[in-house]
């Protein structure tokens, strides 16, 4: 397949591209300023020293949760990062891009203190994405989860270390989206008899919603909401329409922003703008097909490696209302998309925050940005 020194370089490129481990170190001063098109941003560092952080959840009681990929769920309280991680989580099996990944709170967290988290789990060399729920409580600096239930377990498991997906989003019916990747088995993304390469929809306790598109189809996994998705790592509910928007990793180029609608096939690996790593060859049958929804935006020729997704609805940045924010791992950016309905009209790239793994809007209207490469959680507000 390859020969000589060139093959070594190509394989090295493939490895770094797939696992995204190459980062550029830099330092961001406390209370730094970053200039954008509409605002000068004040950047406050809320937490530092995080190890490969993946997700941040802003809870209604003022707690902030941060996942670290190796398996630690960290808690911030009253502006302080607690030293000890949350106890009581089920066993986590870190593997490549897998580990402890997303974390979200129940829509009624104020009353029930229930949280949900996604993680890679398995044994005998086979791992996959699982989702669990539990009740969070803290006594002093010791926090734990109890009444833990695993409510989803990806089938089949796989030995590969890539494409776990893992964003968790509640819809307006309080059903639960779980985004997944193809685990490197790309052809299985077109196979409805497994969970690979799709987005699942379950109830908050792991049941099957009656209106799921394949709930009554023989031979299909009843959890499937969409299929033909390579690796969805950004997902958010549109604040006006209630539809699920998602960003998906392409291979070499071809990252996508889509509206994910019930029962639809999003094409991977039959239809894609991406190319094979290193060689740059076309994949599948082409870039468009009549029955495959067209992406709202496609990043070409290079991938941005999208992660984290959040609509802005607050009042702290009035000129950014209805903007869509996402992280870029490869380019080390926070990206802002301006929307006109379902049309992306412009893109602004905000640098200086490192590899942005997650972005969330707080109840205070600030943007909370989790930086994987710096190991920091930032709070963004307009500079006075």
Active site residues: 163
CA dist 336 and 327 (Å) reads: 9
DSSP H stretches of helix in the chain: 4-19, 109-112
DSSP state of 89: P
Please give the structure tokens belonging to residue 108: 């009624």
CA dist 370 and 348 (Å) reads: 18
Number of Cα atoms under 13 Å in the Cβ half of residue 93: 17
CA dist 156 and 139 (Å) reads: 39
Between the CA atoms of 45, 50, 51 and 57, what dihedral angle is there, to the nearest 10 degrees?
-90
- Report the 10 Å Cβ neighbour count for 275: 19
Cα dihedral 109, 309, 24, 330 sign: positive
* Beta strand segments in 316-375, E: 324-328, 333-340, 343-351, 356-361, 367-371
Please give the structure tokens belonging to residue 295: 């992406």
The radius of gyration computed from the CA coordinates of the chain, to the nearest angstrom, equals 20
Long-range contacts at 11-18 (CB < 8 A, ≥ 24 apart): 11/278, 13/277, 13/278, 14/277, 14/278, 17/252, 17/277, 17/303, 18/162, 18/277
Task: Name 147's bridge partners.
Answer: none
Cα dihedral 153, 156, 160, 164 sign: negative
Tokens 């950047």: give the residue.
43
């Amino acid at each position: 397949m390859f020969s000589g020194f060139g093959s070594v370089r190509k394989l090295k490129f493939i490895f770094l591209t797939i696992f995204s481990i190459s980062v550029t170190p830099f330092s961001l001063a406390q209370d730094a300023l970053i200039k954008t098109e509409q605002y000068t941003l004040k950047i406050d560092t809320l937490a530092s020293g995080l190890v490969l952080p993946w997700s941040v959840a802003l809870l209604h009681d003022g707690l902030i949760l941060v996942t670290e990929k190796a398996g630690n769920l960290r808690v911030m309280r009253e502006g302080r990062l607690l030293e000890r991680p949350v106890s009581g989580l089920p066993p986590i099996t870190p593997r490549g891009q897998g580990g402890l990944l997303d974390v979200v709170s129940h829509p009624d967290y104020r009353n029930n203190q229930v949280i949900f988290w996604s993680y890679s789990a398995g044994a005998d060399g086979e791992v996959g994405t699982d989702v669990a729920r539990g009740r969070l409580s803290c006594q002093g600096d010791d926090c734990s989860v109890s009444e833990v239930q695993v409510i989803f377990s990806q089938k089949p498991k796989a030995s590969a270390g890539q494409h776990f997906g893992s964003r968790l989003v509640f819809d307006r019916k309080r059903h639960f989206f779980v985004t997944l990747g193809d685990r490197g088995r790309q052809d299985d993304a077109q196979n409805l008899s497994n969970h690979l390469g799709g987005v699942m929809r379950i109830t908050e306790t792991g049941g099957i919603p009656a209106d799921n598109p394949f709930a009554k189809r023989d031979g299909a996994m009843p959890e499937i909401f969409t299929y033909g998705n390579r690796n969805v790592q950004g997902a958010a509910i549109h604040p006006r329409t209630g539809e699920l928007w998602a960003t998906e990793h392409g291979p070499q180029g071809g990252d996508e922003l889509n509206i994910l609608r019930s029962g639809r096939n999003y094409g991977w690996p039959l239809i894609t703008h991406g190319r094979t790593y290193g060689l740059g060859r076309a994949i599948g049958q082409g870039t468009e097909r009549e029955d495959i929804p067209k992406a709202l935006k496609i990043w070409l020729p290079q991938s941005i490696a999208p992660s984290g997704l959040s609509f802005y609805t607050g009042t702290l940045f009035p000129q950014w209302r209805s903007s869509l924010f996402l992280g870029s791992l490869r380019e080390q950016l926070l990206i802002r998309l301006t929307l006109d309905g379902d049309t992306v009209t412009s893109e602004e790239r905000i640098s200086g925050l490192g590899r942005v793994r997650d972005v969330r809007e707080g109840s205070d209207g600030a943007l909370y940005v989790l930086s994987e490469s710096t190991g920091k959680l930032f709070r963004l507000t307009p500079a006075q």
